[in-house]
């Protein structure tokens, strides 16, 4: 039997369950058991993960199993794995009747056959013909998978055409990138792999090509992050099938610690595991070579320490960079070493700022305004449009100068928090320079926003243990006509507006108008007093129709005027006045002439 070891390391594609994955999945299969199906899933999953089985399962099975095919199927599996007894009379007869039934589907046949086998009861060998006929009739991937599973537990020879059909069925799977799956998804693919695995194990013949197995494995593993008990259950079933050693089992290598070595962690750890994450026993590993892109080595060629699937080796020399380490394995007999066992190893080392000079120059008269080597921390400076900033530095790990991916100088306006970035370019001697002429940069990069800026140097790279943000300077940038960036107010509440009402004109206090009211009434009073003094009288008064009419009319006219003042409009006033005025006029005429006549008579 050929056995394959493949290698997939550090790629975005995971190829086996990591310890944390196993932990995560284990926690899902801790219970609760609320149906026979969940009892079955928990028990099978725990046996695949080699976890202790739950004791309560047996009681649940004993109390909840009915004489029904679905119940018996689940119970039989649990009973086989956990050794529970299912005490129901007539199971054998019931299952054999199910098999004998005319319209028995592949599903029924599969469940009945596996249940009988799990309970240790005899299965009629004639069933295999029935299965073969049914498979031809239904001809789905699932039907084939079930047929494989059922046939594998039957006694006797495995039909050759059934084994041969495995590869044909595998060709029905869709290939996307480096993964392969059936249209029915995880459940269908897992069942197929399980069926193919047990059947080929029985037949003693690998049925799938290495490539196919690898692609199926990629697909199954990609499901390990799915939520849901059912998804995880079928992921485990699929991985179990891939790990059982009969399908051209795929043994995989994963690296601990993301294959990063540093001063504090100088060893590279490698695990040789199967898809379920179980290490391969009795294996040894050695380093064939470990070279960086420049040809430098970090591991000395030779055997790695450890065994039973976990190995480690300490770096001989730490050099910053990404290395490809070629590994060689000696595996127990039957295992095939991978063709290409190359892993990516990253060595991280810190760098430090060296030879820094932070210069501010006045371009008009070439006067150096500031020259500091930053040994005393951040500097303070002032700049305007005629200033040029030259910031030279180099980055070194140990004695050697290096170039890194991210070397940016960040200006942060302390007021608006606006960032302005400049990219530092290294020259051939790996010396970085930022040369900034504020006359041109002011408008272009700073948007003509002056004020105080803090200047940081950001140094980052995948090969640094920790990115650095170095506070370089605080710069007061004076830009004439500096404009604050206008905040976008269009999507905000606008300031409230209250209308300013016209103020009423200022009036004198009431006391003054009262005084003046008194003053204007004074003449009338004076008149009365004077009259009294002079002895004015009305002794000549005559009571006649005309005098009553005249004075009454006069009074009425005054009353109409007062009424006009208080509210009646002019039309009403004129109408009333017309009548009263005629009467008053006639009476007045009569009165005056009578007075005149009386005077004449005297």
Partner 1 sequence: MEKAVIVSLLLAVASCRTLVILENVLTKESHSSFLSDLSTKDSDIVYKYATDSSLTIKKYGESLYNNIIILAPSVAAFGNGVTANDFLTFLDDGGNIVISASSDVGEPIKEIAAEVGVEIDEEGTSVIDHMNYDVSDDGDHDLIVADSFTSASVIVGESPKPVLFQGVGMAADLDNPLVIDILRASSTAYSHAANQDILEYPLAIGSNLLLVAGMQARNNARIVIFGSHLMLSDKFYNADVKAQSAVGGVQAAGNRDFTSNVIDWALRRNGDLRFSNVKHNKVGEAPSDAAYRITDEVEYSIVIEEMRNGNWEAFQGSDVQLEFVRIDPFIRAYLKPNSEGVFKVGFKVPDVYGVYQFKVDYDRIGFTHLYSTTQVSVRPFHHTEYERFIPSAYPYYASAFSMLGGLFVFSFVFLYHRDAVPESKKTE
The least distance separating partner 1 from the CB of residue 245, rounded to whole angstroms, comes to 27
Q: Toward partner 1, which CB reaches closer, 43 or 218? A: 218
Residues in 544-583 at the binding interface with partner 1, rule: CB under 8 A? 550-551, 554-555, 558, 561-562, 565
DSSP state of 279: B
If the CB atoms of residues 53 and 554 are measured against partner 1, the closer one turns out to be 554
| Distance in Å, CB of 541 to partner 1, minimum | 4
Q: Are 350 and 464 in contact (CB under 8 A)?
A: yes
Q: Is 68 in the site for partner 1 (CB under 8 A)?
A: no
Residue recorded with tokens 């120059």 = 361
Quick one: which of 130, 346, 359, 431 contacts partner 1 (CB under 8 A)?
346
Q: Minimum distance between the CB of residue 436 and partner 1, rounded to whole angstroms?
A: 14
- Which of 284, 318, 460, 482 touches partner 1 (CB under 8 A)? 460
Min separation Cβ 322 and partner 1, Å = 7
Restricted to residues 439-458, the positions that interact with partner 1 (CB under 8 A) are 458
Give the count of beta carbons closer than 10 Å to the beta carbon of residue 21: 18
* Stretch (H or E) spanning 359: strand 352-362
Encoded one letter per residue, x for contact with partner 1 by CB under 8 A and - for no contact, window 515-544 reads -xx-xxx-xx--xx--x---xxxxxxxx--
CB < 8 Å & 24+ apart, contacts of 37-41: 37/74, 38/229, 39/74, 39/78, 40/74, 40/77, 40/78, 41/229, 41/230, 41/233
Cβ atoms of residues 329 and 282 within 8 Å: no
Residue 577 is inside which H or E element, if any? helix 570-601
Regarding 421 and contact with partner 1 (CB under 8 A), the answer is yes
- Distance in angstroms (rounded) separating the CA atoms of residues 252 and 242: 11
Q: Does 186 bind partner 1 (CB under 8 A)?
A: yes
The number of C-alpha atoms within 13 Å of 573 and in the hemisphere containing its C-beta is 14
- For partner 1, the closer of residues 69 and 349 by Cβ is 349
Chain position carrying tokens 């799990």: 118
585 binds partner 1 (CB under 8 A): no
For 189-235, give the DSSP string: HHHHHHHHHHHHHHHTS--S-HHHHHHHHHHHHTTTT--SHHHHHHH
Over the range 190-205, which residues count as b (16 or more CB within 10 Å of their CB) and which as e? bbbbbbbbbbbbbbee
Per CB under 8 A, the list member of 357, 380, 513, 544 interacting with partner 1 is 513
589 binds partner 1 (CB under 8 A): no
C-alpha to C-alpha distances, 237 to 220, 242, 469, 512, 584, nearest whole angstrom? 9, 9, 49, 106, 126
How many residues touch partner 1 under the rule CB under 8 A: the total is 89
Question: Stretches 35-43, 49-57, 182-190, 476-484: which one binds partner 1 (CB under 8 A)?
Answer: 182-190
Using rule CB under 8 A, residue 508 touches partner 1: yes
DSSP secondary structure letter of residue 13:
S
- Work out whether 181 is an interface residue with partner 1 (CB under 8 A): yes
Exactly one of 428, 489, 493, 597 binds partner 1 (CB under 8 A); that residue is: 493
Q: Is 120 in the site for partner 1 (CB under 8 A)?
A: no
591 binds partner 1 (CB under 8 A): yes
Residue 347 touches partner 1, criterion: CB under 8 A: no
Task: Draw the binding track, 308-327, toward partner 1 (x: CB under 8 A; -: no contact).
Answer: --------------x-----
| Rounded-to-integer distance, Cα 548 and Cα 159, Å | 147
**Min CB(164)–partner 1 separation in Å:** 26
Nearer CB in complex with partner 1: 87/499: 499
- Complex with partner 1: residue 4 or 186, whichever CB lies closer: 186
Residues 354-413 close enough to bind partner 1 by CB under 8 A: 403, 405-406, 408, 410, 412
CA distance 211 to 135: 26
Residue ranges in 227-286 that form contacts with partner 1 under rule CB under 8 A: 227, 231, 258-260
* Closer CB to partner 1, 21 or 98, in the complex: 21
Tokens, residue 355: 């030879």
């Amino acid at each position: 039997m050929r056995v394959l070891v493949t290698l997939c390391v550090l790629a975005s594609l995971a190829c086996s369950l990591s310890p944390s994955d196993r932990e995560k999945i284990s926690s899902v299969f801790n219970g609760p058991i609320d149906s026979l199906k969940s009892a079955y899933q928990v028990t099978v999953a725990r046996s695949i993960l080699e976890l202790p089985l739950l004791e309560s399962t047996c009681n649940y099975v004993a109390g909840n199993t009915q004489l029904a095919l679905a119940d018996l199927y689940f119970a039989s599996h649990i009973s086989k794995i956990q050794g529970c007894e299912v005490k129901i009379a007539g199971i054998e007869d019931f299952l054999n009747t199910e098999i004998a039934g005319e319209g028995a589907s592949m599903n029924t046949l599969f469940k009945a056959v596996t249940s009988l086998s799990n309970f240790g009861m005899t299965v009629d060998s004639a069933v295999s013909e029935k299965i073969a006929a049914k498979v031809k009739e239904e001809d789905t991937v699932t039907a084939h998978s079930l047929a494989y599973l059922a046939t594998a537990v039957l006694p006797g020879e495995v039909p050759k055409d059934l084994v041969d059909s495995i590869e044909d069925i595998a060709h029905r799977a869709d290939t996307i990138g480096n993964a392969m799956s059936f249209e029915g998804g995880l459940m269908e693919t897992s069942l197929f792999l399980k069926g193919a695995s047990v059947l080929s194990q029985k037949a003693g013949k690998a049925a799938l090509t290495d490539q196919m197995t690898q692609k199926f494995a990629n697909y199954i593993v990609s499901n390990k992050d799915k939520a849901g008990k059912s998804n995880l259950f079928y992921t485990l079933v699929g991985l179990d099938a891939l790990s059982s050693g009969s399908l051209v089992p795929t043994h995989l290598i994963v690296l601990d610690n993301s294959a990063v070595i540093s001063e504090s962690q100088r060893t590279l750890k490698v695990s040789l595991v199967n898809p379920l994450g179980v290490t391969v026993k009795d294996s040894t590993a050695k380093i064939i070579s470990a070279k960086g892109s420049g040809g430098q080595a970090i591991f000395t060629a030779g055997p790695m320490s450890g065994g039973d699937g976990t190995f480690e080796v300490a770096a001989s020399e730490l050099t910053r960079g990404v290395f490809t380490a070629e590994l060689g394995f000696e595996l127990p007999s039957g295992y095939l070493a991978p063709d290409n066992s190359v892993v990516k190893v990253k060595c991280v080392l810190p760098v430090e700022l060296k030879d820094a000079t932070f210069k501010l120059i006045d371009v008009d008269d070439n006067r150096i305004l500031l020259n500091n080597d930053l040994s005393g921390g951040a500097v303070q400076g002032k700049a305007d449009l005629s200033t040029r900033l030259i910031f030279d530095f180099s980055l070194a790990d140990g004695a050697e100068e290096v170039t890194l991916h991210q070397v940016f100088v960040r200006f942060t306006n302390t007021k608006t928090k606006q960032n302005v970035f400049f990219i530092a370019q290294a020259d051939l001697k790996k010396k970085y320079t930022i040369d900034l002429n504020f006359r041109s940069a002011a408008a272009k990069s700073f948007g003509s926003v002056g004020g105080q800026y803090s200047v940081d140097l950001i140094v980052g790279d995948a090969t640094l243990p920790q990115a650095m943000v170095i506070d370089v300077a605080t710069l007061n940038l004076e830009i004439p006509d500096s404009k604050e960036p206008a905040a976008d107010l269009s999507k905000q509440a606008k300031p409230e507006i209250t209308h300013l009402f016209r103020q009423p004109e200022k009036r004198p206090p009431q006391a003054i108008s009262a005084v003046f009211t008194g003053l204007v009434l004074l003449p009338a009073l004076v008149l009365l007093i004077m009259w009294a003094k002079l002895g004015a009288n009305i002794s000549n008064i005559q009571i006649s129709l005309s005098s009553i009419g005249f004075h009454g009319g006069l009074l009425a006219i005054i009353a109409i005027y007062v009424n006009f003042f208080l509210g009646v409009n002019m039309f009403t006033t004129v109408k009333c006045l017309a009548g009263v005025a005629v009467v008053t006029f006639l009476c007045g005429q009569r009165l005056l002439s009578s007075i005149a006549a009386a005077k004449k008579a005297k």
